[in-house]
Amino acid sequence: MDYKLALHKMITEQTDEVQYYLKTEQALIHVNELIDKTITVAFHSYQCCGCGKDKKIFAQGFCYACFMASPQAGDWIMKPELSTAHLDIEDRDLNYEKAVQLKPHIVYLALSSEIKVGVTRKTQIPTRWIDQGASEATVLLETPNRYLAGVAEVALKDYVADKTSWKKMLKNDVDPVDLLAKREEMIPHLPKEVQDYIVTDVTKYTIKYPVKKYPTKIKSTKLANNDSITGKIIGIKGQYLLFEDGTVFNVRSHEGYVVTLAF
Ligand SMILES: [Zn+2]
């Protein structure tokens, strides 16, 4: 089969094992079915997620101009504590920022390699955890806006990581830790202004990925350095395709790339 598509992060569905899909204009490719198959992903062109033009992608699927101007690439995306829509203060587009920031947000602990703290919109659960390759996760807070979630995250960064070691995550090198015990441990460290939003329902979510065999050595490959990438898929975790030779391909970091996919 041969498809041409603009890459976006894979669509996921949580069943007993995560199901992954890639959307093309004509079809929905069930990526799980490509496990054990040899695929080739080849660069075709760019399609900026902002302006749609064939301009080199700078970051987060955007060309440089869009990355600097789009409300979807403001600093508050990566740093929720910089959110200001609750104060009626605009960053790039107040209407957009209100629509996103003034929604229920979740502060969670997730275990992908070590325990990390993170923030996401409530509607992004469990998508966010799957995208990060977390094997376990638990909700700590549900706040009415992004700012308060960011304040809590900043406070907890002194006690837990806020980044994933993606290589350890892909090798399934996961620290043996008790997530719910860590959750209890974090509660006294939460600032006063968010204490009212602690979630009382303490649940540990577990996520399983379709991986036949975890690689022991990881080598990342990018279309920025290769015209095409060929390999036999042995698994999918987070937003990564894992190939038999230890090469990994981060689908999400190729947003805005138009490719041909053959298998
Ligand atoms: Zn653009």
Looking at residue 92, its pLDDT comes to 96
Q: How far is the CA of 240 from the centre of ligand 1 (A)?
A: 25
Q: How far is the CA of 255 from the centre of ligand 1 (A)?
A: 12
Residue 163: pLDDT band (50, 70, 90) is confident
Instruction: Note if the bond before 126 is cis, omega within 30 degrees.
Output: yes
Q: How far is the CA of 50 from the centre of ligand 1 (A)?
A: 5
Residue 26 has pLDDT above 90, yes or no: no
Looking at residue 164, its pLDDT comes to 82
Residue 137: pLDDT band (50, 70, 90) is very high
Nearest to 231 by CA among 213, 214, 243, 246: 243
Instruction: Please compute, for residue 162, the number of CA atoms within 13 A of its CA located in the half-sphere on the CB side.
Output: 16
**Cα 47 from Cα 54, distance rounded (Å):** 5
- Give the whole-number percent of the chain exceeding pLDDT 90: 96
Q: What is the mean pLDDT of the chain?
A: 96
Q: How confident is the model over 109-128, as a mean pLDDT?
A: 96
Q: How far is the CA of 46 from the centre of ligand 1 (A)?
A: 10
Q: How far is the CA of 49 from the centre of ligand 1 (A)?
A: 6
pLDDT digits (tens, 9 = 90+) for 221-257: 999 999 999 999 999 999 999 999 999 999 999 999 9
Looking at residue 162, its pLDDT comes to 84
Nearest to 83 by CA among 260, 92, 174: 92
Looking at residue 172, its pLDDT comes to 96
Q: How far is the CA of 121 from the centre of ligand 1 (A)?
A: 25
**Cα 67 from Cα 65, distance rounded (Å):** 6
Q: How far is the CA of 256 from the centre of ligand 1 (A)?
A: 9
Q: How far is the CA of 250 from the centre of ligand 1 (A)?
A: 21
Residue 54: pLDDT band (50, 70, 90) is very high
pLDDT digits (tens, 9 = 90+) for 95-108: 999 999 999 999 99
Residue 24 has pLDDT above 90, yes or no: yes
**Cα 43 from Cα 221, distance rounded (Å):** 13
**Cα 197 from Cα 122, distance rounded (Å):** 13
β-pairing verdict for 240-243 and 247-250? antiparallel
pLDDT digits (tens, 9 = 90+) for 192-228: 999 999 999 899 999 999 999 999 999 999 999 999 9
Residue position matching structure tokens 């990526």: 31
pLDDT digits (tens, 9 = 90+) for 196-206: 999 998 999 99
